[in-house]
Amino acid sequence: MNLNQARENMIEQQIRPWDVLDQRVLNVLADIPREKFLDKHYRDLAYSDYQIPIGAGQTTLNPNVDGRLLQSLSIRITDSVLEIGTGCGFLTACLSRLSGKVTSVEIHPELHASAAERLQDQGYSNVTCLLQDAAKEWDADDAYHAIALTGSVETIPDFYLQKVAVNGSLFAVVGSPAEPTMEARLMTRISNTEWITESLFETHIPPLQNFAVKEEEFTF
C-alpha cells in the first residue's frame, strides 16, 4: 500500500469534507505519519475512517475527529496544552507541532510507555508524558491555553474547566456510552467565571476510564 497516497486521500476525502480548513492543522495532519504510531499489523489501516485498536481496550479517534478537535482549539505556537488520554501518541504529536508545550496523561502503563517511546524517537521534545489516573485531581499546572479530552465523558469535570486559562478552550465529547450518539463540545473561558459553550458535531467514541458519573447516595 502507498501510505503517502493514503495520507493525501485522508486529507481530501475525510478531513476537508468535515470543514477542517485551517491550513496549519491540514499541514500537521499531512506531515505526521499516523502509521508510525500504530502496531505494524494495523499500519495499512492508518488512514482509514476507522477507530483502530491500540491495545488496553482502547482505539484511535477517527481522522476527521482528530481534525475537528485540532481546529476547534485554535492552538498557537506559544500555547501550553493538556491532553487527557495519550493513547497511541499520534494526536499528542499533532498537538506538539501546533503548540509550545504539551502535557499528556495516560492511565494505561503499556500505552503510556509505547507512546512516550514513539514520541521521543521521533523528536517531539516539547511533550511531557505522565502515567496516572486523570479522573482524580492531581498536581496539574495552574492553567492551560487548550485542553483536549480524547475519550468521552458524561459530564465535563469542573477540575479541568478550572484549569483552562482565560481565552483558552477545552474540547470534550459528552454523552453516555449506552447512547447511539454523543456531542462534541468546545468550552471557551471568557472570564474567571464565564464560559461559552459551542456544540460542534455528533460522534461516538470510547469513554475515558474512571470518568463515569457516580450515582448519588441518598440518606433516608
Confidence of residue 213 (pLDDT cuts 50, 70, 90): low
Say what the pLDDT of residue 183 is. 99
Q: Calculate helix-pair angle for 63-72, 23-31, nearest 10 degrees.
A: 140
The three three-digit cell numbers of residue 149, written as one number = 479530552
Closest C-alpha among 35, 121, 24 to residue 73: 24
Q: Is a pLDDT exceeding 60 seen at residue 214?
A: no
The pLDDT tens digits of the residues spanning 172-200 come to 999 999 999 999 999 999 999 999 999 99
- How far is it, in rounded angstroms, from Cα 162 to Cα 168? 11
Confidence of residue 202 (pLDDT cuts 50, 70, 90): very high
- How far is it, in rounded angstroms, from Cα 75 to Cα 103? 14
Say what the pLDDT of residue 216 is. 40
- Reduced to 3 states (helix: H, G, I; strand: E, B; else coil), residue 200 is strand
Say what the pLDDT of residue 63 is. 98
Domains along the chain with CATH numbers? 3-203 (3.40.50.150)
Say what the pLDDT of residue 217 is. 38
The pLDDT tens digits of the residues spanning 106-161 come to 999 999 999 999 999 999 999 999 999 999 988 887 899 999 999 999 999 999 99
